Structure 1
Amino acid sequence: MTSPEDAPAPELSAAASDLRMATFRLARRLRAQRAVDTMSDGQFAVLAALKMHGLHTLGELADRERVTAPSMNRTVNGLEEAGYLTRTTDDDDRRKVNIELTPAGREVVEETVRRRDAWLESVLADLDEDEREVLARAAALMRRVAER
């Protein structure tokens, strides 16, 4: 049980709530900028992880995305059927199956990132230099908070 002295100050609670909501809204706006409208955020996250970190097994992808293996299997099946990734048997361990991006999958990730960056650049262009500087500092702080 917390004592009144341990409770966060009301202004800290309000700041936390404002930051959470602003971050959520910005993330939603960025997620809307995608190359394939029918692709879910979870599907895109798998493609982006493969582009950034290279091939993975199904279990490694499930761990990375914090979902169950059966759930990841369904996601991978859909992406494989769409031609965005492939499964290949590992050369060294025939029991192991590696999942990797196809050129079409890489193109989806690159185009989605390009669209998201372009949208954000257009928004930043409407801000003055001081506002962009504040956001640059805030981005560094948000990265630090996210790494905790």
Structure 2
Amino acid sequence: MSLPADQHPDSLSAAAADLRMATFRLARRLRAERAVDAMSDGQFAVLAALKVHGPHTLGELAERERVSAPSMNRTVNCLEESGWVQRSPDDDDRRKVNVAVTADGRAVVEETVRRRDAWVEQALAELSDDERDTLARAARIMAELATR
């Protein structure tokens, strides 16, 4: 008895499921490498966005992270209490508050990135040259897919 084409192990849907699962497993493993164990993934995402893109209002952060403004306010409150971000009045509109990463927050992001890169480097060192070449090609393809 043969399987229908959409259930064949080599089918496009099976490949998509395999790629999705492998991507999520790798992302979960990378997220485990962090400088501060108590920091949530959402808090780290906000901290990293502020480091990379500069100060944002709460509304801009909420939009960037696709969460509600009250949820973002709670996240920023936690980050502020830990000394990783600071709020300041907007120069152009005093009703707005800008959120910026502090030096301590920047250090958390940099150490987390360093740990994640070190983990990936160690994992790559355990692979063959052919496997590393395959992953390098896959990384380029995945980066392209992410922009679609």
TM-score range, shorter chain: over 0.9
Q: Partner of 1:61 in structure 2? A: 61
Deviations 1:4-29 (A, max 9, x none): xxx96741111001001100100011
TM-score, normalised via structure 1 length: 0.93
CA distance in 1 between counterparts of 2:71 and 2:93 reads 24
Q: Partner of 2:48 in structure 1? A: 48
TM-score, normalised via structure 2 length: 0.93
CA distance in 2 between counterparts of 1:79 and 1:64 reads 17
Q: 3-state SS of the aligned residue for 2:56?
A: coil
Unaligned runs of 5+ in 1: 1-6
Q: Partner of 1:23 in structure 2? A: 23
Deviations 1:52-83 (A, max 9, x none): 10000000000000000000000000000010
Which AA in structure 1 matches 2:108?
V
Q: Partner of 1:87 in structure 2? A: 87
Quote the offset at 1:128 in angstroms: 1.1
Which AA in structure 2 matches 1:24?
F
Q: CA RMSD in A?
A: 1.2
CA distance in 2 between counterparts of 1:100 and 1:131 reads 40
Quote the offset at 1:96 in angstroms: 1.4
Which AA in structure 2 matches 1:93?
D
Q: Partner of 1:75 in structure 2? A: 75
Q: Partner of 2:38 in structure 1? A: 38
Which AA in structure 2 matches 1:83?
G
Unaligned runs of 5+ in 2: none
| Closer/same/farther in 2, CA of residues 131 and 102 from structure 1, 3 Å limit | same
Which AA in structure 2 matches 1:17?
A
| Larger deviation, residues 17-26 vs 90-99 | 90-99
Which AA in structure 2 matches 1:80?
E
